Chains A and B, each alone.
Chain A
């Protein structure tokens, strides 16, 4: 019985030529490629627009007192207005108040969180050399636990005036931004963790530290460029 079914199967296998398999697979793969590219082309402008709106919304929330903004590009030559530069660089956003004075600079930072990369926007105020707020752009933290980094009012209080002063030779921060256990914050450069969400809290502290160590010295060097642009801000 077994033998007959085995030989039957073999017979069936022999009937299908490699050509048929190749034909089907390449047909399906070609069709698939076409559809994916088509969907990508159609949705790309909409997705870009959505991302821009999301950043803009977060921007005015994260920079206190800002009513207008200008984009700048951080290149090897320093900070240049985004429209003038064609080269690669990190995009930074300057926010201005009603009188056209620089009220803060918003920067993007990212680090690995508990489940996926957390991306956020934070604002740096050159007047007090401190971080003035954070807005989470993208995260996949546990609902009810890790996602408190976006909303928890106690955690947000860390970023009302988080110290990010330059060190004496202006190469980095005077004090590393560090996470401390819940309720043990003593210094203005420390971040009080959310109890139960240590990994997410630490990710925020780490990305702020990494980004600020690198960006704050550059912003302070080219501060004139940022401040002078306030008149023409949209």
Chain B
């Protein structure tokens, strides 16, 4: 029994889907644990985004390469071992790059292992697609995730600490809104961004409907 061919061709959409239409954070709401926890500054958000992108890319590629070899029954175990391997590599690499950064990200580096976006990509995409499409799609998803984290991180750092990437933005007497870099601030800012995204999405859909209505009348 062979499943119908699900392999897709690489189109710009393969990459762009992760940025907008299926953005892992703003649309699919995946991987909320690091999204809320480490976005208390822009630099942490960027580092976390890049680390996750690396793990996502490497693990998806490996899953895609081995996809014909992995029996259904042990697929989740296999994916987790593959993901855990790359997380460990990232963990060592960040320690080698900067201990300060490593200390700031804390346990969340190791927790990339349970980021459901990565497991989700392995299960829903990489296990069915060719290597090329998997890499392009994973890169899109990773960039989308990084951008989303950066959106949250910079807003929280500006409001909560009065700086961006560590550079102070305001005069001395600026009173930072500390709650923004604490966990509740993560929820506030995420809520704000989701509101913005959904409002824009609905606005575009309405526009599209109106256009279609108008063209139907015109003809």
Q: Which A residues fall within an 8 A CB radius of B?
A: 12-13, 16, 20-21, 23-25, 27-29, 31-32, 35-36, 39-40, 42-43, 46-47, 50-51, 54, 115-116, 138-140, 142-145
Contact = CB atoms under 8 A, between A and B. Distances in A.
Given A47-B96, A50-B95, A144-B181, A36 B85 contact: yes
Contact of A24 (B1, B66, B85, B99): B66
A40 B81 contact: no
Given A43-B96, A46-B96, A143 B66 contact: no
B71 interface: yes
Interface string B3-32: 000000000000000000000000000000
B64 to A, nearest CB: 14
Given A28-B66, A46-B96, A140 B107 contact: yes
Chain A interface, DSSP helix/strand/loop, else mixed = helix
For chain B, the bracket of interface size reads 20 to 34
Given A24-B66, A54-B99, A139-B103, A32 B71 contact: no
Chain B interface, DSSP helix/strand/loop, else mixed = helix
B82 A32 contact: yes
B99 A50 contact: yes
B78 interface: yes
18 contacts: A20-B71, A21-B71, A21-B73, A21-B74, A24-B69, A24-B70, A24-B74, A27-B66, A28-B78, A28-B81, A32-B81, A43-B93, A46-B96, A47-B92, A50-B96, A50-B98, A143-B40, A144-B178
A43 B92 contact: yes
Contacts of A27: 66, 69
Contacts of B86: 35
A199 B93 CA distance: 32
Contact of A143 (B71, B74, B182): B182
Interface string B81-118: 11011101100110110110001001100000000000
A39 B95 contact: no
A28 B82 contact: yes
A116 B102 CA distance: 14
Contacts of B84: 32
Contacts of A12: 1, 72
B214 to A, nearest CB: 47
B88 A36 contact: yes
A171 to B, nearest CB: 36
B216 interface: no
B171 interface: no
A40 B92 contact: yes
A40 B90 CA distance: 10
B77 interface: yes
Contact of A35 (B40, B89, B106, B107): B89
A145 B77 CA distance: 39
A36 to B, nearest CB: 5
B72 A16 contact: yes
A101 to B, nearest CB: 31
Contacts of B181: 143-144
A145 B185 CA distance: 14
Given A39-B93, A140-B107, A32 B85 contact: yes
Contacts of B81: 25, 28-29, 32
B66 A39 contact: no
Contacts of B93: 39, 43
Nearest to B84: A32
A42 B91 CA distance: 13
